[in-house]
Amino acid sequence: MRRMWPEEFKAILDNAEEVMLEIPATAREDGSYGDATHRKALKVRVTQEDYERIWPLADARYRLDGKLAGKAVTLIVNNPHYHNWHPADGGIEDRQSDSGRHYQTKYVVVHFLLDDVREAAAA
């Protein structure tokens, strides 16, 4: 099934930073080690509110369009292989509304695995 990234959340990926995740080699049952893995990803700092809205989309692959057409993303939330890239505290910013009232905005740093999408060509 081809799922597209929801239109309402496209702005979340606008300022994404492309990064490379380096997953260290792990020990196998026989004592040997596999190879370290490198995966492309998008790193995004989102508000806590936006994170709570996209959380239900976690661990599913979504195709992208626009400037990231031909790519697909998967939000990392609790996959043990990507523990270092689980959502993390992104800090708090103090702000002031137009009326002069002070408030705080909480942020979360999240990572999306980034994959190329291969389309089957018609023969």
Give tens-digit pLDDT for 41-56.
Answer: 999 999 999 999 999 9
Task: List CB contacts of 72: < 8 A, sequence separation 6 or more.
Answer: 61, 62, 63, 64, 114, 115, 116, 117
Half-sphere exposure of 108 (CA within 13 A, CB side): 20
Give the type of residue at 89: D
pLDDT in tens, 15-30: 899 999 988 777 777 7
Q: What is the mean pLDDT of the chain?
A: 88
